[in-house]
Amino acid sequence: MTLHPGAGTAVPADPEHDPTATYALDPAVVRRLTSRIVSTTGEAQKSTAPFTGQPIASLPVSSPADVVTATAQARAAQRSWATVPLDLRARMLLRLHDLVLDRQDEILDLIQWESGKSRKHAFEEVAHVAMTARYYGRTAHRHLAPSRRMGVYPGLTRIDVNRIPRGVVGIISPWNYPFTMALSDGLAALLAGNAVVHKPDSQTPVTALFGIDLLTQAGMPGDLWQLVYGPGDVVGSAIVDNTDYVCFTGSTRTGRAVATRAAERLIGASLELGGKNPMLVLRDADLDRAAEGAVRACFSSAGQLCVSLERVYVADQVFEPFMKRFVQRTEAMKLSSAFDYSADMGCLISQAQLDTVVHHVDDARDKGATVVTGGRPRPDVGPLFYEPTVLSGVRPGMSCFSDETFGPVVSVYRFSDEREAVERANDGQYGLNASIFTRDGARGRRLASQIRCGTVNINEGYGATFGSVDSPMGGMRDSGLGRRQGAEGIHRYVEPQAVATQRLLSLRPVLGMSQERYARTLTTTLRLLKKAHRP
C-alpha cells in the first residue's frame, strides 16, 4: 500500500493482484513520520508486516542520552503548555476526534499492516481513540477545574483544591493495540497540562507515529510529545529514569521492573499488565448470546488483548448446549489477511507469539487435554496464522492452565454451583477482566463484586467496560496498578494541591486565652460541629 502524502487515502500498490501481497509506505511519508524520533545513534531497526513478513519501515534507534534530550525538550514545552487555557487544550482533543474518524481508512490499513489483526478488530482502536478524545474534551472542567472542600471552620476556612500537572509523563505503549494504547493514555496527560515522552513498541511504531502526527494536525505544539524508539530495556528504562510519571502497558514481569525503578525515584506509575481472564456462563444465561460473546471475547485480535478471555466456566446444566453453540461459531470463523471487513480473525504478531501458542496447545494435548476444535497453525492463510482453539480437560501442570497465552486459545470447564465458579475465577495471581452471562442482572452484579478483577462485564466479554470511557479500567493483583479512563485516568497525571484561606478566627489562642482554655473551647466546638453536621 502506498500512502500518498496529503492525499488522505490509501490505495493498493497493484490493484490487479491480492492487495495484501505487496504493500509499501511512500518513503517521503516514512521520512516525515520518523523525523519526530529523537535519535543520534546512527542506528536503525526495521519493522515487518505479520501478514507477509515483508519490511515495513526502517526507524532510527534512540539512546539513553536521546531520552534525556527528549525529556528536556518536553519539559521546556510543558511550561508553556500548562499556561494554555483548559478550554483550548480540550478543543485540541475534539479536533483530533474528527480527524481520527475522517482518516480512519488510513489508520485501519496501518493497524492491520503492522499488527496483523482483522479490520473489524482494528476499528475498535479507531472508535476508542475517538471516544476518549471526545470524553476528555467534553469533561475537562469536571476533572481539572479547581474545586472547593470543607474547611476546618465552616464559613471561616476556605479550601480550594488545584490540579497541578506532574510535568513530563513517560508512556511505554504495547504492540497489540498500537493506535489506541499509543494515544489514549497520552490524551488525558496532555489535557491535564503535561508533556509526553513516548516509546512505542518496536513491532508497531508507524501506527503510533501516524497518530501523533494527527495530534499535531489537531493543534498540539510540536515539542510537547517527544518520541523515542528502541529496545525496552534501554530506552524504556531511560524513560522511567527521567520523567515525572510513567504509564506502562505490557507484561507483568516488565511491569514489576518499571514499578521498582519508579519507586526508587519516588515517582508515580500506572501499570496495565497481564491477565488470565475468566468468563462465567450461569445456568440461566442466554446461550446464543453467551456463545457469540465468548467468540468475540476469546478471539478478538487473535486473543492478543489484555482483557480477552482465556478461561470459560460453564454451569453443568447448560454445558453441552453452550459448547455446541460455541464450537459451531468458532469453526465458522473466517481467517484472512484481507484489508476489508470480511475477516473474523487476523494473525499473531510474531513468530515468538506463534511459538508460545503452539507450545501451550501441544503441551496441553500431550498431557491429556482435548482439543475440541482448532489446534493447528494455518500457514496456508499466512505465516503467523493459528486456528481459534477450544480446549477441555486442562488442569494444573499444563502451561496454559495458569500462564497467559495471549493468543486464540481458550480452556472450558464445568462448574456445579456459583460459589465454586467465583472461587475458580479468582484462582491465580491475575485480576484484570472477567465476564458473567446471566439473565438476572442483579445476580450478575452481586457475583461481580466477589470477583477480584478491575473490570467485570455482564452479558458482554470486554467491550462494555472498554468502551465506557467514563469508568475506570485497570487491574488488581498481578494485573497492575492504577487505572486509565474516567476521572481516575486523568487524576493520575496531576498532583492535588490544597490551598486554605483563613478568615477572622485564628487557629490559636486569642485575647489572652490560655492554651488549656483554648483546648476546652475547641473541644466544645468539635462536639457541636458533630451534632450540626450531617453528611
Distance separating alpha carbons of residues 482 and 260, to the nearest angstrom: 15
- At residue 513, the 3 state secondary structure works out as coil
Distance separating alpha carbons of residues 320 and 333, to the nearest angstrom: 20
Phi first, then psi, for residue 114 (nearest 5°) are -85, -35
**Cell digits for 291?**
456463545
Residue 535 burial (C-beta neighbours within 10 Å; 0-12, 13-18, 19+): exposed
Q: Which residue type does 283 have?
A: R
Hunting for cell 500518498 — which residue is that?
Answer: 4
How many Cα neighbours within 13 Å face the side chain of 63? 6
Residue whose C-alpha is closest to residue 455's, from 278, 325, 329, 316: 278
> Helices in 139-219 by DSSP H: which ranges?
140-144, 180-191, 205-217
Residue whose C-alpha is closest to residue 168's, from 32, 68, 274: 68
Q: What angle do CA 213, 59, 129 make, to 5 degrees?
A: 35
**Contacts with 89 (C-beta within 8 Å, 6 or more apart), sequence order:** 81, 140, 190, 191, 193
Q: Which residue type does 85 have?
A: P
Residue 468 burial (C-beta neighbours within 10 Å; 0-12, 13-18, 19+): middle
- Catalytic: 247? no
- Per annotation, catalytic residue among 272, 310, 387, 460: 272
Q: Which residue type does 465 have?
A: T
> Helices in 266-350 by DSSP H: which ranges?
287-299, 319-331
- Catalytic: 306? yes
- Per annotation, catalytic residue among 306, 347, 400, 453: 306
Annotated catalytic sites, by residue? 272, 306
